[in-house]
């Protein structure tokens, strides 16, 4: 019986593409630090997230100064999930790196934008603090 199970497992592995599935997203903890402001329509302003530096695959984002404070590994996202998050809490972010969407037309006299890589959030979970 054990030999039959191993044979079946080998056949299934060959049929499924000869290898372990690859993960096409990243998972890193961090916190929301604020919103870019350059448009009166808040849905056109990206949320900024400071990711922790202990990622297995390396660091993401850039070090920036935002609202008078220094942050490391900052990325931006237009994902609606981020706009609903509490900046006082830490979250685990599953995300894809994505091409940067060009800024929409600026219609505010005072803008606060940050040139950082963009991500698309797949899933968010609150971490225990």
pLDDT in tens, 65-106: 988 899 999 999 988 888 889 988 999 999 988 776 666 667
Confidence of residue 57 (pLDDT cuts 50, 70, 90): low
Residue 7, in any domain of the structure: no
Per-residue model confidence as pLDDT tens digits over 4-40: 455 555 555 655 555 555 557 788 899 999 988 878 8
Q: How far apart are CA 63 and CA 24, in angstroms?
A: 25
Domain count, the chain: 1
pLDDT at 41 (0 to 100)? 81
Domain, as residue range, for 116: 26-124
Decide if 100 is inside a domain: yes
Residue 54 vs residues 34, 57, 110: alpha-carbon distances, Å: 21, 9, 35
Report pLDDT for 22: 57
């Amino acid at each position: 019986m054990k030999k039959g199970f191993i044979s079946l497992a080998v056949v299934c592995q060959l049929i499924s593409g000869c290898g372990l599935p690859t993960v096409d997203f990243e998972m890193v903890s961090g916190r929301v630090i604020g919103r870019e402001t350059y448009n009166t329509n808040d849905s056109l302003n990206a949320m900024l997230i400071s990711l922790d530096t202990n990622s297995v695959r390396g660091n993401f984002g850039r070090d920036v100064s935002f609202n008078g404070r220094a942050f490391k590994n900052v990325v931006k996202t237009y994902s609606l999930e981020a706009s609903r998050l509490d900046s006082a809490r830490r979250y685990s972010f599953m995300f894809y790196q994505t091409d940067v969407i060009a800024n929409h037309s600026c219609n505010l006299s005072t803008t606060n934008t940050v040139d950082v890589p963009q991500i698309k959030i797949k899933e968010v979970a609150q971490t225990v603090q």
